[in-house]
Amino acid sequence: MGLSETINSSTLLGTSSSNNIDVHLMKTTEYGAMAILSASGYGNPSNEKAITSTTGNETGVMINTNNWEWTAGGYKSASVFSGKNARYYDAYEASNTSAKAGDALGTKDTANPGCAGWHQASSSSWVYTTTSYGGYGFVRGNGGIFSFYGYVYASSNYGYARGVAVCGAGL
């Protein structure tokens, strides 16, 4: 979860200095921002539980709402996060009151209302708190761009995942 690497002409992977490319599994907050923007005036606000949701243009982001998509976020004590840099995942408490600004989680009865149920999203199950099997993490998207489900073992082969590449100096 998180890799800065240099690419060169001989081996493709360098060993000297970084080229400031940071690659990681999409965090829960990054997915939330993508979902919120795709359903806004900047995206395609008519995206209601469609098979494929997009920002509405040729260079937009595609979200397949027929499959779950892993995000780097889950129960705070999950062993899958052990030894990982905290900048690459979102850690949550046992309660949905730990929803974060921009993650599009939460429910209407929490301090951070989130987006549970927006655009006819069919699932809004909070992350389960056991740490067995690596802990539980969030999967997103199946049943609508604002669906989320937190009862999936972090070590299971369940759904897809999206990589994020961040380019810039000082990463």
Span 87-133, pLDDT tens digits: 889 999 888 888 888 888 876 666 666 677 777 788 888 888 776 66
Beta bridge partners of 75: 92
Distance CA(65)–CA(55), nearest Å, equals 14
Residue carrying the six token digits 């380019």: 167
Q: Does 155 have pLDDT greater than 50?
A: yes
Give me the amino acid identity at 100: K
Distance CA(89)–CA(26), nearest Å, equals 8
Q: Which is more confident, 61 or 12?
A: 61
pLDDT of residue 89: 92
Kindly report, residue by residue over 45-83, the tens digit of the pLDDT. Answer: 665 555 456 656 666 677 778 889 999 998 888 888 888
Reported as type and span, the H/E element at residue 36 is helix 28-38
Give me the amino acid identity at 65: T
Distance CA(148)–CA(39), nearest Å, equals 16
Mean pLDDT for the chain overall: 75
Q: Does the model's pTM come out above 0.85?
A: no
Residue carrying the six token digits 């951070």: 112
pLDDT of residue 158: 77
